[in-house]
Structure 1
Amino acid sequence: MALEWLTLVAAIWLQSINGTNSNFPAYSSELKRILSTSQLNLNNLASANDAGKLFGWISGLAAAHLPLWLVLLIGSLLGLIGYGVQFLFLTGQAPSLSYWHIFLLTALAGNGICWINTVCYLITIRNFPLDRQIAVGLSTSYIGLSAKIYTDIVDVVAASNSPSDRAKAFLLLNSALPLLVCLVVAPLARDAVVGRSKRLSRGFFAMFAISMVTGVFAVVTSLKTVVAGAVPSYVILGGMVVILFLPLIVPAGEKITETVRRRCLIAVHDDGGGVTVVEKDVESIVEGAGVVDEMGPLMMVRRVEFWLYFFVYLFGATLGLVFVNNLAQIAESRGCSGTSSLVSLSAAFSFFGRLLPSYADYFFPRSKRLVSRGGAIGVMMGPMCGAFFLLLNGEDASLYVGTGIIGICTGAITSISVSTTAELFGTKNFGVNHNILVSNIPIGSFLFGDFAALLYSKARTHYSSLCMGQNCYHTTFILWGSLCCLGTFLAFILHLQTNKLCSRKITTQSVV
């Protein structure tokens, strides 16, 4: 049992450092200056972070045939190359690179993220079959903290506050930190499930308490530039490191409990007592077993549910990610100086958003839920629609509130989607299937991001490369809000379709 919890802690640590693409807004303006490129080309660089997801299915195939620790190391090495060469370029230790070299390197690093994500998803799904959504939500929530963690480190290690030094620090961390963490946790990247007949409520309750402390700490310290009495950067970083080690309390507690239980069983046996242990087949009691159809990729893409799901995600989580990619330029155009705070705030609220589905599954099991996974996604997309229209207001407060809402909703949808893929199409081919679904992220990133960049360029004056004013993203926010409303409607249709299919399968099984 303790080993299972250790694999969850490993997934948490991996996700904490795997959101390297979310750091792009923190150094995108410096890249724009160094490359002397346009806003459209800069947006395409942001999209390149997601372009690697087009080939994310390769990591799913690899995970089906290679040890998970090897898949993990391959992903970290791809990131080392992608970000490492860019770091050497910025420091003048590598030959001059063209825009397209940077684009391809960024896409390569983005693909490395998929490999690490695939391992995290698989070890949580396989090792916690009775608590799949809870385990997945807990682990993936920490990817929402990546931007916050990297920003805290840069605030301490950057030699100065200059954009150039900070950009170099971000790229160095992006390349080296994932590899170091992957090397540490690689021995835990494996199946550790044992037969269980009950849920792990006690351990998850402790994990929830730890995650709440982590989230509150992240939000409060993200606002250090807009509240009085700012805390020194090294104190914030030290606090974050300590908090990231707190999940080890759960496997340590389970280990102690196992030892005590084993000694008690030995004592009972020595006294002549009989102990009967009944182990149930895990697969037979997995939530939803017998209802889920195991599908391969070819069968999946022929289903109408897949395409509904695809466009719901495109107009929901993908739109939220595009907003985050453009956050630095949005803040700059509105004259808001707290770009780093906005990036950290978005990451912190995304953390809470990714936790929401886990809390829902913990306190309201499947038997008590009235809304399907697709319906839950639709519920989270509603506030996103309002947030995009709220951004039409030019006040800084609207930007902070809108960023927080979009962050929490995007995080929740991303977390729900993992279990939705498993429930709709099965877990056997999950690694490939889910990576095919999230291929809509680079597609949406290019389409929505390029449209926003074109409108940005059209709104700027001919004498400046920058666009200043509320009109820079006014039409963009209207379009994004409208698409999000369309996605909410499609999520409602997916909810009805999912309920219809589940009812049909249960009826068929009852007849049989």
Structure 2
Amino acid sequence: MSSSSSAPWLSLVGTIWLQTINGANSDFPVYSSQLKDLKSISQVQLNFLAFASDAGKLFGWCSGVAAIFLPLWLVSVIGATFGLIGYGMQFLFLENTHLSYWHLFMLTALAGNGICWINTCCYLICIQNFPSDSHVAVGLSTSYLGLSAKVYTVVADAVFHAQPSHNAKAYLLLNAIVPILVSLLVSPFLRESQTKNKTRSSCGFMVMLAITLATGICAVFGSIRSESREHKLSLGILLTAPLVVPLAVKYKEVIGEIWWNKRERKVHDITVDEDKTGGRVIDCELKEGGAVDGKVEGSMEVGGLQLLRKVDFWLYFFSYMFSASLGLVFLNNLGQIAESRRFSKTSILVSLSSSFGFFGRLVPSFLDYYSTKSGYMVSRPAFMATLMAPMAGAFFLLLNPSRHFLYLSTAIIGGCTGAITSIAVSATSELFGNKHFGVNHNIVVTNIPIGSFVFGYCAALLYQKGAEGSHSCTGAECFEKTFIIWGSTCSLATLLCTVLYARTRKFC
């Protein structure tokens, strides 16, 4: 007898909760300025700390290898343990003079590597348990990663009552303990389901997408307006709401078994061929168009170091680095950008970028759901290229010192960065197949630490030059040259991704 049909949905809820808390590094801009003053470090050193979290991704491929030999729930717990050690040690010894700058760097890199382990677990769970809807499941799950900074700022405000003087300690404590607690909570759900359902799960995904959309709207309204107690409560309820789907599926399954047993008693003298009835579970899911076994038609299986020999890989690698990775560098520098413009409420900008990043990650899931239903899939490179263009424009908009343009550009960059990182998960399997996905995608995301180092370091040097020997720089000119460079680089990314689309496009 096959396992419960609610098990895949329960595993999806588990990945949603994991992704919601897996962006512990995204709250760095909220307390980065305080950390800079507390440890008496320069802007260049501060950018190296932001890079350290991304540097952990250089060894993210280890999680892909580990996932081959270890159960996936253990992979997520190992990742959360890295975060517990990395951020926990910083929390305990932050004000201790023995905790040097390089200790901070190594601990932050360890925590950053832990994020890769949790991501790998979530990706593989979604791909294995929803073979016919893997793009929708992965996109829906990863969309919640864009909500991490929002969740951490809400929890910090609720628990520590928004005391700016304790921001660093408060966020480091939350970054350390929340991921490990959630990982242990959901570990019983993170199993590969024995039910290999290859039909489209229309009912369940429709409800999931509706709940996710409501969560995003709630997050955006909370970012734009002052957050109230009612808003925080609503957000908490919406984050638990996805449980409705596995509970409903389980209820339907139980009712179906009761009906089946009654039917067997009435016709006990008739032999029922279960192979013809499809088993004992009654399921409303209908078979429609879509991928078979999660494989993209026409994709080729390329694994490991073979990627480095492919021109398409390098086009993909650099277009990702010059867009989404660049967007992450911008978000890491939000604290200093806000400070240079005399805007003290950095948490508002972080919440805004997080909320729109959430929507950005969610949009590909909606498109995948409806495009697969119609039998037509949008090319991932083409989708990514259309997102890079407005992102480049947003960097140029930041040259205007108006606070309204700061809000608008932060929302655009946050949304486009979230969307590109979400689409990239599917693009990796579309371009190089699913067989070696765990290792392949972790090789692709090594562009993030490289981009973080290059663009972050250049921005820090220009900022320090504008400061003219003082500790901080004030005025729109502090990041003026940086925004011109970033906008031009993102324009180049649009061109590279367009070339990738032209090379991989399937002509009739």
1:124-203 counterparts in 2 under 5 A? 124-158=126-160, 161-163=163-165, 165-203=166-204
Q: Displacement, 1:34?
A: 1.3
* Mapped partners of 2:164, 2:356: distance in 1: 27
CA contact (8 A) 2:150 2:355 kept: yes
Q: Displacement, 1:289?
A: 4.9
Render the CA deviation track for 1:281-339: whole Å, top value 9, x for unaligned: x9992354552222221222211111111011101110110000001100110112221
* Mapped partners of 1:197, 1:170: distance in 2: 42
Q: Which residue type is aligned with residue 99 of structure 1?
A: Y
Q: Displacement, 1:13?
A: 0.2
* Mapped partners of 1:201, 1:193: distance in 2: 20
* Mapped partners of 1:192, 1:314: distance in 2: 35
Render the CA deviation track for 1:123-156: whole Å, top value 9, x for unaligned: 0111111111111111101111111111011112
* Mapped partners of 1:269, 1:284: distance in 2: 36
Q: Displacement, 1:28?
A: 0.5
Q: Which residue type is aligned with residue 105 of structure 1?
A: L
What is the TM-score with the length of structure 1 in the denominator?
Answer: 0.92
1:422 aligns with 2:424: no
Q: Which residue type is aligned with residue 375 of structure 1?
A: A
Q: Secondary structure, in 3 states, of the residue corresponding to 2:195?
A: coil
Render the CA deviation track for 1:214-235: whole Å, top value 9, x for unaligned: 00110111123xxxxx443x44
Name 1:23's counterpart in structure 2.
27
* Mapped partners of 1:159, 1:384: distance in 2: 34
CA contact (8 A) 1:283 1:289 kept: no
Q: Secondary structure, in 3 states, of the residue corresponding to 1:315?
A: helix
Could you say if the C-alpha distance between residues 198 and 107 of structure 1 is closer, same or farther in structure 2, counting changes exceeding 3 Å? same
* Mapped partners of 2:410, 2:181: distance in 1: 31
Q: Displacement, 1:432?
A: 0.8
What is the TM-score with the length of structure 2 in the denominator?
Answer: 0.93
Q: Displacement, 1:198?
A: 1.9
* Mapped partners of 2:43, 2:348: distance in 1: 22
Farther-moved stretch of structure 1 (180-189 vs 259-268): 259-268
Name 2:371's counterpart in structure 1.
364
Q: Which residue type is aligned with residue 40 of structure 1?
A: V
Name 1:243's counterpart in structure 2.
238
Name 1:227's counterpart in structure 2.
none
* Mapped partners of 2:51, 2:395: distance in 1: 20
* Mapped partners of 2:7, 2:70: distance in 1: 21
Could you say if the C-alpha distance between residues 3 and 289 of structure 1 is closer, same or farther in structure 2, counting changes exceeding 3 Å? same
Q: Which residue type is aligned with residue 356 of structure 2?
A: F
* Mapped partners of 2:438, 2:385: distance in 1: 24
Q: Secondary structure, in 3 states, of the residue corresponding to 1:467?
A: coil
Name 1:480's counterpart in structure 2.
486
Q: Secondary structure, in 3 states, of the residue corresponding to 1:427?
A: coil
Name 2:40's counterpart in structure 1.
36
Name 2:283's counterpart in structure 1.
none
Q: Secondary structure, in 3 states, of the residue corresponding to 2:309?
A: coil
1:499 aligns with 2:482: no
Q: Which residue type is aligned with residue 110 of structure 1?
A: G
Percent of matched pairs sharing the same residue: 53
Name 1:105's counterpart in structure 2.
107
* Mapped partners of 1:270, 1:292: distance in 2: 50
CA contact (8 A) 1:327 1:343 kept: yes
Name 2:67's counterpart in structure 1.
63
Which residue of 251, 259, 273 corresponds with 1:256? 251
Name 2:390's counterpart in structure 1.
383
Q: Which residue type is aligned with residue 186 of structure 1?
A: S
Q: Displacement, 1:115?
A: 0.5
Q: Which residue type is aligned with residue 128 of structure 1?
A: F
CA contact (8 A) 1:124 1:136 kept: yes
Could you say if the C-alpha distance between residues 97 and 347 of structure 1 is closer, same or farther in structure 2, counting changes exceeding 3 Å? same
CA contact (8 A) 2:130 2:294 kept: no
Q: Displacement, 1:367?
A: 5.9
Q: Which residue type is aligned with residue 209 of structure 2?
A: F
* Mapped partners of 1:131, 1:192: distance in 2: 14
Render the CA deviation track for 1:78-120: whole Å, top value 9, x for unaligned: 111100010011255xx62111110000000000111111101
1:384-463 counterparts in 2 under 5 A? 384-462=391-469
Gap regions ≥5 residues in structure 1: 225-229, 508-512
CA contact (8 A) 2:216 2:355 kept: yes
Could you say if the C-alpha distance between residues 289 and 47 of structure 1 is closer, same or farther in structure 2, counting changes exceeding 3 Å? closer
Farther-moved stretch of structure 1 (184-193 vs 32-41): 184-193
CA contact (8 A) 1:128 1:193 kept: no
1:322 aligns with 2:329: yes
Q: Secondary structure, in 3 states, of the residue corresponding to 2:474?
A: coil
* Mapped partners of 1:323, 1:231: distance in 2: 24
* Mapped partners of 2:158, 2:431: distance in 1: 45
Gap regions ≥5 residues in structure 2: 280-286
Which residue of 288, 302, 305 corresponds with 1:295? 302
Q: Displacement, 1:475?
A: 0.8
CA contact (8 A) 1:385 1:482 kept: yes
Could you say if the C-alpha distance between residues 337 and 205 of structure 1 is closer, same or farther in structure 2, counting changes exceeding 3 Å? same
Name 2:284's counterpart in structure 1.
none
Farther-moved stretch of structure 1 (388-397 vs 196-205): 196-205
CA contact (8 A) 2:150 2:354 kept: yes
CA contact (8 A) 1:78 1:109 kept: yes
Which residue of 4, 8, 13 corresponds with 2:12? 8
* Mapped partners of 1:235, 1:448: distance in 2: 40
Q: Displacement, 1:236?
A: 3.4
Could you say if the C-alpha distance between residues 364 and 283 of structure 1 is closer, same or farther in structure 2, counting changes exceeding 3 Å? closer
Q: Displacement, 1:23?
A: 1.0
Q: Displacement, 1:197?
A: 4.1
* Mapped partners of 2:162, 2:305: distance in 1: 52
Q: Displacement, 1:427?
A: 1.5
Q: Which residue type is aligned with residue 187 of structure 2?
A: A
CA contact (8 A) 1:126 1:193 kept: no
Farther-moved stretch of structure 1 (287-296 vs 310-319): 287-296
Name 1:510's counterpart in structure 2.
none
Could you say if the C-alpha distance between residues 366 and 309 of structure 1 is closer, same or farther in structure 2, counting changes exceeding 3 Å? farther
